[in-house]
Amino acid sequence: MLVTSRTRLHRPFQRTFSTNLRYGDAMIVPVNPDSIPASVRERTTVKHMLVFPARQSPTPDNTRIVGWVRGELSHDEYTNEVLLDPSQFIENVEFEPFLQDVLEKHIYDCPEFIKRATELGSGWMNIYDKRSRSFRTVSEDTLGSVELKDGKMVPASYTAMPTHRLMSERGELFQLSDFIKEKLDSELNGKQSE
């Protein structure tokens, strides 16, 4: 085969990362052994953790850890994007309930969902994270739902969706509106200072 500058050689490529990398709204950092719960340590070896939010100098503690990644990380050799295999992701069981508490408190003030509520009128409105490809069905991207009456969200009606996954089967990490992302960060900062 004649190899030219236009020839793309397709070969598997894997690289070990030693620096912090962005992955959606999180950052992948080398694992801190003290952050791994005994229940996870007993089952597998983890090498990296996903920390929210992505920052230049994260100071991860267990409240900010979205989950852990088994094995080595790899990246797409053409786009240089980090590739995560969802089967290698171990969710931090404390993160999703914390995220749901933040949504329950702040969803009613989120401009994006206020606008959508006025468009929909009455009934139930599903709250999707931004990776959703369909706004018509309940999926792993559905954070929860809220009751609507006359184009407004009914206070205290938010219900978490048990099917929501922090990392989808497609390997995509949850994605929040800017408003909810800021509220989550603020609440995590408050918890950290306790």
Quick one: which H or E segment has residue 160?
strand 159-160
CB 74 within 8 A of CB 83: yes
Give the count of beta carbons closer than 10 Å to the beta carbon of residue 184: 22
3-state SS class at 148: strand
pTM assigned to the model: 0.81
User: Counting runs of H as helices and runs of E as strands, what totals does the chain give?
Assistant: 4, 11
Q: What are 5-57's pLDDT values in tens digits?
A: 333 333 333 333 445 677 778 888 887 777 777 877 777 778 888 888 765 44
pLDDT in tens, 114-131: 999 999 999 999 999 888
